[in-house]
Amino acid sequence: MYEIKKLLSVCDIVKQRPNPFGGYRKYVATGDIKKSEIISFTEVTYGGRPSRADCTVYSGDVLFAKMAGTEKTLVAESIHEDMIFSTGFVVLKPKPETLDSKFLYHILRSNKFLSEKDRLSTGATQKAITNKSLGNIKISLPPLDEQRKISSILDKADEIKSLSERVLHLRQQLILSTFNEMFGDLRINSKSWPEKSISELCSRVSVGYVGPLTILYVESGIRCLRGLNIKRGKISSDNIKQISQENHDNLLKKSRLNAGDVVSIRTGNAGVSAVISEEYDDVNCADLIIMTPTSEIVPSYLCEFLNQKFGDSDSIQGAVGAIQKHFNIGSVKKVMVPLPPLELQNQYHQILDTILHLDNQIEFTEKISLSLTQEMLT
């Protein structure tokens, strides 16, 4: 068990204003940082800089965004010493005899710290943590040599996560190119396949339960998929809610899902679709469009068709609503689907299955990496 210390007992909050300078310098606002990467900046003069452009850093300082609900953290290096940063960041200077900069960086990105920051944040318009509240946060502090060893391991975990994100992006590009090469541009049916409507190709086209679900959630029961769980071509297990067996059998009986069903988000990110795998057989759903394909069409083919036709469109054909787009079930049933030969659809499914197997391995590796990160920082 490591020693527990107040964060501000092992580092100092520093406020280093820029000295007058000629010409231009790069100004980094909180919006210019994504996670731990500076993705943009604005060039400013000393006299013309925004009022918030009033903070400089030295190599080894660690910055994080004050606002609640944000994860923006950076270890300052020599290249950052000529930049100006927003006062929306807190700048911490670790006491070198006690705290390593990289270890502090990982602490500030941990779920435990971010949760504490959010809990202690205040403000009427935009909640943010104050210096006084920051003084109430405690951290687990290993000896310096262990901090450096842990940081090295967590750096490798970050590399795994970054590589996973790049591979998953390439995976999506591979699926798109494979699909388009085999079937053409189905949004315009460039290969002139015969067409049938979704109502003709699916034995069931319905909407999952639409109504207040919060009061139905239980700690342990039947999983209930929502729009948040539907990603392009896959189901996300993050934050899945559960309902009772009784509600699954009665109130939400018509919302039950079976392996092979295709579901589409109805409201919000409308049109994004996924196939229900064996893992999610006989779960329930809320506010999703449910389609049960007949033997005329392969579920994975229908799913990717829907993603390409609707999932990438800002102006969704067949969706209604002035503020928040949502699908009208009647319009969905009328959507015409190009119908390549089943043999070709099955070939696509086999290729997709191979790609998704790799996807699952990457996701498993990433979860282990995330688990290791949080365990070390608890």
Report in angstroms the alpha-carbon separations of 239 from 129, 244, 280: 26, 17, 15
Q: What pLDDT sits at residue 317?
A: 47
Going residue by residue through the chain (378 aa), what tens digit of pLDDT does each one get?
A: 688 999 999 999 999 999 999 999 999 999 999 989 999 999 999 999 999 999 999 999 999 999 999 999 999 999 999 999 999 999 999 999 999 999 999 999 988 899 999 999 999 888 999 999 999 999 999 999 999 988 888 888 787 777 767 777 777 788 888 898 999 988 889 999 999 999 999 999 999 988 887 778 898 899 999 999 998 888 988 889 999 999 898 888 899 999 999 999 988 778 899 999 999 999 999 999 999 999 999 999 999 999 988 865 443 444 444 445 667 888 889 999 999 999 999 999 988 887 776 655 555 555 555 555 555 555
User: 3-class SS at 325?
Assistant: coil
Say what angle helices 144-183 and 101-109 make with each other, to 10 degrees.
Answer: 50
The answer to whether residues 263 and 257 touch, using CB atoms and an 8 Å cutoff, is yes
Interatomic CA distance for residues 158 and 376, integer angstroms: 14
pTM of the full predicted structure?
A: 0.60
Q: Which two tokens stand for residue 345?
A: 């659809």
One-letter amino acid identity for 190? S
The CATH class, in words, for 3-141 is alpha beta
Interatomic CA distance for residues 301 and 15, integer angstroms: 57
Contacts of 143 (CB under 8 A, 6+ apart): none
Domain boundaries, the chain: 3-141, 144-184+341-378, 194-339
Which helix (H) or strand (E) segment holds residue 374: the answer is helix 342-376
What is the CATH number that goes with domain 194-339?
3.90.220.20
The phi, psi pair for 222, rounded to 5°, reads -95, 130
194-339 shares the fold of 3-141: yes
State the virtual CA torsion across 292, 296, 298, 301 in degrees, nearest 10.
Answer: -100
User: 3-class SS at 291?
Assistant: strand
Tally of CB atoms within 10 A around 157:
18
Helices (runs of H) and strands (runs of E) counted in the chain: 9, 25
Interatomic CA distance for residues 306 and 324, integer angstroms: 19
User: 3-class SS at 248?
Assistant: helix
The answer to whether residues 49 and 27 touch, using CB atoms and an 8 Å cutoff, is yes
